[in-house]
C-alpha cells in the first residue's frame, strides 16, 4: 500500500480485532492512521460505530477518508446466529451490502476487505480434497448461510466496480478467545480441573469431527500482508485463509490433556451432539501462498499450549 494509509477497522472490539490492531501497528507504525471501531467501545481510542447505521458509517467515511476498510463485523459463534437469525442476516449480509453500495458512491477509491468464513463451503467440503476459492458454496446452518449471502453480495458489487477482496478464514484460535469455541472451551475446563474447581471429567460432543485450525495471529498476519500488497492485487479476488490440513477434536483434546499433565476422564454427552455438524472441512490455501508467499508462523501445538496457559492465568 503506497502513501500513508488510513485503515478503518469495523467490528474491531472482539477477539480478532484486538490481534489485528497489534499486527497493523507492528506493520505500518506511524505511517498509517488506524481507526478502530465497534458498537460498544471500551476505551476512548475506539470509535462507536454500528455497521447497521449506514448514515453513521457514511459520516465517518466522509470525515476520515479511509483508504481501506476491513469489515470484521459479525456474530462470532454459529450457535448464536441460530438463536438470532434476524441479527445474523442484518450483520452478515444486509449491512455489508449497504456498506459496499455506499462506498461505490462516496469513496470509489477505498478498498473494502470483507471477512467472510470458510464455513460457507459447507457440504462441498465433504467431497474430498481441500476446498479452493472456486468451490461451490453449500452452507448448512444460519451462520454459514448468512455469511455466504454477504460474501456473494460483495462479489456482485465487485462486478460493479467496488474495490474489494473477500477473505474466507477457516477456524482460528489463540489467547483471548471465549469459551464459545472448542479450543478455549477445552482449555478452560482443563484449567479449572487442574485448580480443583470442577471434577476431573469433561463432557464432549463429536470428537471425530475434523477442522482446519490456524492461530489467530497467523490469520491477522495474512490480513495485514494483503493490506500491505493491496496495490498489486486484483479487485474482486477471494482468498481462503487456512492451514490446509484437518485435525480431529479428539486430537486437540488429547494434546491439551497431555500438556496439562493431569488425569481427566472424557464422557460423551448426547446433548452436545449436533446433527448439523460437518464431519470434516479443510481449506486450500494455494492462492494466498502463491500471491503473497504467506505461510503460518505458529504451529497448532503452540496455539494449544498458549491458549491453555491463557486460561490458567485467568484463574489466578
Ordered domains of the chain (ranges, CATH): 6-173+213-244+282-297 (3.40.50.720), 182-208+246-279+309-314 (3.90.25.10)
From CA 33, how far away is CA 4, in angstroms rounded? 8
pLDDT value at position 225? 97
Q: Which three cell numbers stand for residue 256?
A: 491439551
Kindly give the residue spans of alpha helices, DSSP state H, lying in 160-195.
Answer: 182-194
pLDDT value at position 93? 98
From CA 114, how far away is CA 294, in angstroms rounded? 19
Q: Which stretch of DSSP H or E encloses residue 80?
A: helix 78-83
**Tens-level pLDDT at each residue, the chain (316 residues):** 766 889 999 999 999 999 999 999 999 988 889 999 999 998 888 999 999 999 999 999 999 999 999 999 999 889 899 999 999 999 999 999 999 999 999 999 999 999 999 999 999 998 789 999 999 999 999 999 999 999 999 999 999 999 999 999 999 999 999 999 999 999 999 999 999 999 999 999 889 999 999 999 999 999 999 999 999 999 999 999 999 999 999 999 999 999 999 999 999 877 666 555 789 999 999 999 999 999 999 999 999 999 999 999 998 8
The whole-model pTM stands at: 0.95
pLDDT value at position 272? 63
Calculate the alpha carbon distances from 116 to 123, 143, 168, 268 in Å: 17, 10, 5, 32
Residues in the chain: 316
Local structure of 81: helix, strand or coil? helix
Of the candidates 131, 150, 111, 164, the residue with the CA atom closest to the CA atom of residue 240: 131
From CA 209, how far away is CA 242, in angstroms rounded? 17
For CA atoms 76, 80, 84, 85, the dihedral sign is: positive
Amino acid at each position: 500500500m503506497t502513501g500513508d494509509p488510513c485503515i478503518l477497522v469495523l467490528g474491531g472490539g472482539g477477539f480478532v480485532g484486538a490481534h489485528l490492531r497489534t499486527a497493523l501497528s507492528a506493520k505500518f507504525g506511524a505511517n498509517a492512521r488506524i481507526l478502530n471501531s465497534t458498537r460498544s467501545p471500551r476505551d476512548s481510542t475506539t470509535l462507536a460505530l454500528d455497521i447497521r447505521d449506514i448514515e453513521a458509517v457514511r459520516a465517518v467515511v466522509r470525515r476520515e477518508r479511509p483508504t481501506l476498510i476491513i469489515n470484521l463485523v459479525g456474530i462470532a459463534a454459529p450457535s448464536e446466529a441460530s438463536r438470532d437469525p434476524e441479527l445474523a442476516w442484518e450483520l452478515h449480509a444486509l449491512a455489508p451490502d449497504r456498506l459496499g453500495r455506499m462506498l461505490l458512491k462516496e469513496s470509489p477509491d477505498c478498498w473494502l476487505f470483507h471477512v467472510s468464513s470458510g464455513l460457507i463451503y459447507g457440504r462441498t467440503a465433504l467431497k474430498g480434497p481441500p476446498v479452493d476459492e472456486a468451490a461451490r458454496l453449500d452452507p448448512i446452518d444460519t451462520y454459514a448461510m448468512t455469511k455466504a449471502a454477504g460474501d456473494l453480495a460483495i462479489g456482485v458489487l465487485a462486478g460493479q466496480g467496488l474495490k474489494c477482496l473477500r477473505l474466507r478464514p477457516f477456524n482460528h484460535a489463540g489467547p483471548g478467545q471465549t469459551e464459545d469455541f472448542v479450543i478455549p472451551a477445552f482449555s478452560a475446563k482443563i484449567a479449572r480441573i487442574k485448580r480443583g474447581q470442577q471434577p476431573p471429567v469433561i463432557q464432549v460432543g463429536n470428537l471425530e469431527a475434523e477442522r482446519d485450525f490456524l492461530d489467530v495471529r497467523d490469520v491477522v498476519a495474512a490480513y495485514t500482508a494483503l493490506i500491505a500488497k493491496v496495490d498489486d492485487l486484483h479487485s474482486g479476488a477471494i482468498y481462503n485463509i487456512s492451514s490446509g490440513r484437518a485435525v480431529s477434536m479428539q486430537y486437540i483434546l488429547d494434546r491439551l490433556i497431555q500438556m496439562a499433565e493431569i488425569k481427566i476422564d472424557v464422557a460423551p454427552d448426547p446433548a452436545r451432539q449436533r446433527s448439523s455438524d460437518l464431519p470434516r472441512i479443510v481449506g486450500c490455501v494455494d492462492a494466498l501462498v502463491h500471491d503473497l508467499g504467506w505461510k503460518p508462523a505458529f504451529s497448532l501445538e503452540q496455539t494449544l499450549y498458549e491458549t491453555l496457559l491463557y486460561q490458567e492465568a485467568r484463574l489466578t
